[in-house]
Chains A and B, each alone.
Chain A
């Protein structure tokens, strides 16, 4: 069984997982979804009516009965397209289809910068910023954590060795958003070393280079908070995985063969431990999601975490629902990529052991 077969198998597994996860969300939010859809339909019908009225008044003919009939028909059409008048199982299929294709209905109050009231449009406007921040943060944590973890595993009893368990305690006891909050008070408003929030300076620089520079400058503090909180936990995991792999038989035999310590550590041990490490990466991604999202709020970083907060403050349920579904897909995608990396690294998986 080659990598391709493994890939095909994983694709199928992850599709079933996606459907299952979506279904769980659907079941838990069933009543709310119905309310949201009903409101969306009313909303759309109203828009439709206004459009007709505008059109009709331009032509000077206003037959209210006819217009109402028209609107009614439109509404009925929407109701059946959203499956509201169908039995539960049919409703499930129609609405699940809508959810998986990102049709979440309209927001109650919020709008996208484009003016659209579609939840999917609103989310699409903010999602990239979450992805930028979270991906950068996660990559930094993985790289820095791996290096620190390896150093501490290799040099027992040294500074690195003692550092890691200490920073691991930080990881498990400190909320990312709180550290961010503290940083803003101290480093942004206190000594003015960093901007207190936002994505770029205002107004955004026109030059793309300056724009990126400004964005990086604004990302510095949130990334610092994210890294400080998460790097210790990850380094700790790397450290214990490496230490436990070091006790395996192949390490002694590798040494007997005359291979150098660093060759054994960086080639043999690290590669052998990497499938286990990627499992931990998956857990770390899923685990740091909540903290990362909340951090957006304190830094006024206009991503999905911030949008969630705004939606909570303005009671915009459809947006909150939409975000939850979108983030499920994103998280699953991250786990899927991780799985592919794991399969690539571990020859044992490909044979399906």
Chain B
């Protein structure tokens, strides 16, 4: 079965006064139908940039400098902007944002904004009915359509945004930290909602978060990202059981253990993306760093089954 979305060697750079930040550096990723792919990594590792890159929303000073993104075998980076906008964006690939608590324009009603999406994409059918249907799908009262964003709670806003994301029956849903600003109970509810929707609608999901605990609940496949690059990828359960890359191991340890009441952070800081260390990008924080790690960059290589790791230890 060929993947529905396949990213090859995607590089996205930001041209800042302090230098070129390689926010996404030769990243490859595959998403199969009805699959949930998790992307995890500390804040600043380039996850959101990757997501925005897929949506082709990188604005100056950023630029997609290299790579291909295949959607059903078509390279969507070669589409013209207007073609991409009318055929792919939101219609086939929709997205829920890290900041989607502020994702609605504050001065329009929820219903108006969902209807606007339908209108812009020339949806055939009754707009009002569709809005009602969508709100029901995300377990919201239809009256929410007549409310302004600020009149809703955080959880309700996120549900409404999911409803808007589903408006055009997309195949792929990118969720960029969809629950970060929410309390734990609401978080769980949203995750459950996404699970249900995935099942009911046959969605394929790219789920981005820095919270490994959250990913364990939902993801089938996992990509671990650090400083713009993929460090490890593979089946979720395998990685949870047996993390290979030292960064993944530290990231796992950083999960709040229910038995301990503290969170262990990873020592050190993420390097400046405009000024990466030579060799492995994790070398300056890695407890197992060897000589070669500081000299030569490890390639992402297959070590067993579908497990790939970029580390000189393997």
**Additional A-B contact list (8), CB under 8 Å, known A253-B103, A258-B86, A348-B150:** A249-B97, A252-B52, A252-B99, A258-B89, A274-B107, A347-B109, A347-B150, A348-B148
B100 and A351 contact, CB distance less than 8 A: no
**Number of A-B pairs whose CB atoms are under 8 Å?**
75
Stretch in contact with the other chain, from B67-75, B116-124, B237-245? B116-124
A258 and B102 contact, CB distance less than 8 A: no
A353 and B150 contact, CB distance less than 8 A: yes
- Is B139 on the interface with A (CB-CB < 8 A)? no
Measured CB to CB, the closest approach of chain A to B5, in angstroms, equals 16
B104 and A250 contact, CB distance less than 8 A: yes
Measured CB to CB, the closest approach of chain B to A53, in angstroms, equals 70
| Interchain Cβ contacts under 8 Å between A and B, 17 examples | A249-B100, A250-B105, A252-B52, A253-B103, A253-B161, A256-B55, A256-B94, A257-B116, A258-B89, A260-B85, A268-B107, A271-B105, A271-B107, A346-B107, A347-B109, A348-B148, A348-B150
Contact with B along A336-353 (1 / 0, CB 8 A): 000000000111100101
A252 and B105 contact, CB distance less than 8 A: no
Chain B residues with CB under 8 A of A347: 106-107, 109, 148, 150
Measured CB to CB, the closest approach of chain B to A190, in angstroms, equals 48
Number of interface residues of B (CB under 8 A): 30
Within 8 A of A (CB), among B33-76: 52, 55, 57
- Is A259 on the interface with B (CB-CB < 8 A)? yes
Contact with B along A247-273 (1 / 0, CB 8 A): 011101111111110010000100110
Contact with A along B83-118 (1 / 0, CB 8 A): 001100111001101011011111111000000110
* Best-buried of B85, B86, B103, B121 by chain A (most CB within 10 Å): B103
A258 and B120 contact, CB distance less than 8 A: yes
Main secondary structure of the interface of A (DSSP, over half): helix
Bound complex: CA A348 to CA B107 (Å): 8
- Is B164 on the interface with A (CB-CB < 8 A)? yes
Bound complex: CA A301 to CA B118 (Å): 55
Given A249-B102, A256-B90, A346-B107: A263 in contact with B150 (beta carbons within 8 A): no
Chain B residues with CB under 8 A of A346: 107
Given A249-B99, A257-B90, A348-B150: A272 in contact with B57 (beta carbons within 8 A): no
Partner of B89, one of A256, A272, A351, A353: A256
A258 and B150 contact, CB distance less than 8 A: no
* Best-buried of A256, A263, A272 by chain B (most CB within 10 Å): A256
- Is B151 on the interface with A (CB-CB < 8 A)? yes
Chain A residues with CB under 8 A of B57: 252, 255-256
Measured CB to CB, the closest approach of chain A to B104, in angstroms, equals 6
Bound complex: CA A249 to CA B95 (Å): 13
Bound complex: CA A263 to CA B164 (Å): 18
CB nearest to A353 among chain B residues: B150
Partner of A272, one of B85, B94, B107, B161: B107
B102 and A345 contact, CB distance less than 8 A: no
Chain A residues with CB under 8 A of B86: 258
Given A249-B97, A347-B148: A259 in contact with B116 (beta carbons within 8 A): yes
9 nearest A-B residue pairs (beta carbon): A249-B99, A253-B103, A249-B102, A347-B148, A268-B105, A258-B90, A258-B89, A250-B105, A271-B107
Measured CB to CB, the closest approach of chain B to A157, in angstroms, equals 10
CB nearest to A250 among chain B residues: B105
A263 and B104 contact, CB distance less than 8 A: no
Chain A residues with CB under 8 A of B120: 257-260, 263
